[in-house]
């Protein structure tokens, strides 16, 4: 079997509520979807959701890179994922979102060839996944509670609050949310690098009584020392997000004892292959993982869900991006239970079982290599 062509799609969907974080605003999914076709008539789908403040990529840069990567792998065996993955990574610096789209599509092909869902190819046993719901930074505590109540009405039972404001403002927001939801609901906070060390320390100390599950990326991605000092000086566990893209980042963080948890995102790792390596390092160091997302449709979310199912050490699930989409043009794949919004249902279709609808694919087709 050989790769015969790659279709590239420019995928734009508006979000119902923009999510504001300290490093930018996410108001729409501006993604790139790829379909890798083979001479055996089997194909695989993958998705990139570039976010420049984190991965340095844009939709336009991903489209250009997709053409380059497609030309690189055309004519090759799509089942040689590891060697193709190494070659694609060597062909560029960064570009992790678009690399993840190609990695996903190759896993999808492997599943379609074998007739197995990807989580089974990875040796996993289907298990229930529940995602938290992310609430961006709002302008007031009242707006935060209002949006949170809307989302909780869809059945979510865990929340991730975006923080990263100046001074001690964030601890007031988080205290108000804790009081509103009661003592039992899991609350995580994510600063997206928005605090400096003293602000992070002051806020985390003020929040120690609020039963926070963990603090995600409180300080700068490159500053592993501050992460370790926070870990030493507060009781709230610390989770790396922007600090960990790949296996060597994971190794440095656990060796420095800088974090309790590692957040795997396929858009940072460049796909499932590297996600597996990060999880293995976390497990060797007795650390748990989280899995997160950018603004993927259910194509990207399904791939992330299969990895999470296959590696139970990925305990914290934050896969809610497509929940905020104005429309959902994806056929098959993981879905949210409409009566129980936090539950992600993954079926046992071969591969990931997720594709663009024919109509939408036609409307957003950009190039074929």
Q: What angle do CA 185, 190, 195 make, to 5 degrees?
A: 135
**Cα 59 to Cα 98: distance, rounded to the nearest angstrom:** 9
Determine the interface stretch with Mg ion among 80-88, 97-105, 148-156, 186-194 (rule: CB under 5 A). Answer: 186-194
**Cα 239 to Cα 262: distance, rounded to the nearest angstrom:** 6
Residue 273 structure tokens = 């292959």
**Is residue 320 at the binding interface for Mg ion, with CB under 5 A as the rule?**
no
Check 57, 108, 170, 190 and give the catalytic one: 190
Check 160, 188, 265, 268 and give the catalytic one: 265
The answer to whether 208 touches 181, Cβ cutoff 8 Å, is no
213 vs 216, beta carbon nearer Mg ion: 216
Provide the 10 A C-beta neighbour count for residue 167.
10
Reply yes or no on whether 216 is catalytic: yes
Reply yes or no on whether 209 is catalytic: no
Cα Dmax for the chain: 60
Which residues make Cβ contacts (< 8 Å) with residue 229, sequence separation at least 6? 197, 201
**Is residue 249 at the binding interface for Mg ion, with CB under 5 A as the rule?**
no
Interface pick for Mg ion out of 216, 249, 279, 296 (rule CB under 5 A):
216
Provide the 10 A C-beta neighbour count for residue 9.
23
291 vs 354, beta carbon nearer Mg ion: 291
Tell me the closest approach of the beta carbon of residue 338 to Mg ion, in angstroms.
27
Residues 252-291, one symbol each (x = binds Mg ion by CB under 5 A, - = not), give: ----------------------------------------
Reply yes or no on whether 190 is catalytic: yes
Classified as helix, coil or strand, 212 is strand
113 vs 264, beta carbon nearer Mg ion: 264
The answer to whether 125 touches 133, Cβ cutoff 8 Å, is no
Tell me the closest approach of the beta carbon of residue 22 to Mg ion, in angstroms.
11
Reply yes or no on whether 162 is catalytic: yes
Check 95, 241, 242, 279 and give the catalytic one: 241
43 vs 282, beta carbon nearer Mg ion: 282
Interface pick for Mg ion out of 47, 108, 120, 190 (rule CB under 5 A):
190
CA dihedral (120, 121, 123, 124) positive or negative: negative
**Is residue 241 at the binding interface for Mg ion, with CB under 5 A as the rule?**
yes
The answer to whether 215 touches 191, Cβ cutoff 8 Å, is yes
Write out the residues near Mg ion by the rule CB under 5 A.
Answer: 190, 216, 241
Catalytic sites, residue numbers: 162, 190, 216, 241, 265
């Amino acid at each position: 079997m050989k790769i015969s062509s790659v279709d590239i799609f420019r995928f734009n969907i508006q979000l119902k509520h923009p999510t504001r974080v300290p490093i930018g605003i996410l108001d729409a999914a501006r993604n790139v979807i790829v379909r890798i076709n083979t001479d055996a008539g089997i194909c695989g789908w993958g998705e990139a959701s570039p976010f420049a403040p984190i991965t340095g990529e844009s939709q336009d840069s991903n489209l250009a890179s997709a053409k380059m990567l497609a030309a690189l792998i055309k004519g090759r065996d799509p089942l040689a994922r590891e060697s193709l993955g190494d070659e694609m990574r060597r062909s560029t610096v960064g570009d992790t979102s678009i690399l993840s789209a190609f990695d996903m599509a190759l896993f999808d092909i492997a599943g379609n060839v074998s007739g197995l869902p990807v989580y089974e190819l990875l040796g996993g046993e289907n298990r229930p996944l529940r995602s938290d719901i992310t609430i961006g930074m709002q302008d007031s505590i009242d707006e935060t509670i209002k949006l949170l109540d809307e989302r909780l009405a869809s059945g979510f039972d865990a929340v991730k609050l975006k923080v990263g404001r100046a001074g001690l403002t964030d601890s007031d927001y988080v205290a108000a949310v804790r009081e509103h939801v009661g003592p039992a609901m899991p609350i995580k906070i994510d600063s997206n690098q928005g605090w400096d060390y003293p602000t992070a320390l002051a806020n985390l100390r003020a929040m120690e009584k609020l039963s926070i599950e963990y603090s995600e990326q409180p300080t700068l991605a490159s500053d592993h020392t501050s992460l370790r000092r926070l870990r030493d000086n507060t009781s709230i566990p610390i989770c790396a997000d922007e600090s960990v893209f790949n296996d060597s980042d994971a190794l440095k963080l656990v060796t420095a004892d800088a974090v309790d948890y590692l957040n795997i995102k396929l858009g940072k790792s460049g796909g499932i292959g590297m996600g597996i390596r990060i999880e293995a390092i976390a497990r060797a160091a007795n650390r748990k993982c989280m899995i997160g997302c950018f603004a993927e449709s259910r194509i990207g979310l399904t791939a992330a869900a299969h990895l999470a199912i296959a590696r139970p050490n990925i305990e914290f699930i934050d896969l809610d991006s497509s929940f905020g989409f104005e429309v959902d043009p994806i056929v098959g794949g993981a879905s949210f239970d409409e009566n129980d919004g936090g539950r992600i249902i993954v079926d046992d279709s071969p591969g990931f079982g997720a594709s663009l609808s024919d109509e939408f694919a036609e409307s957003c087709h950009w190039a074929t290599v």
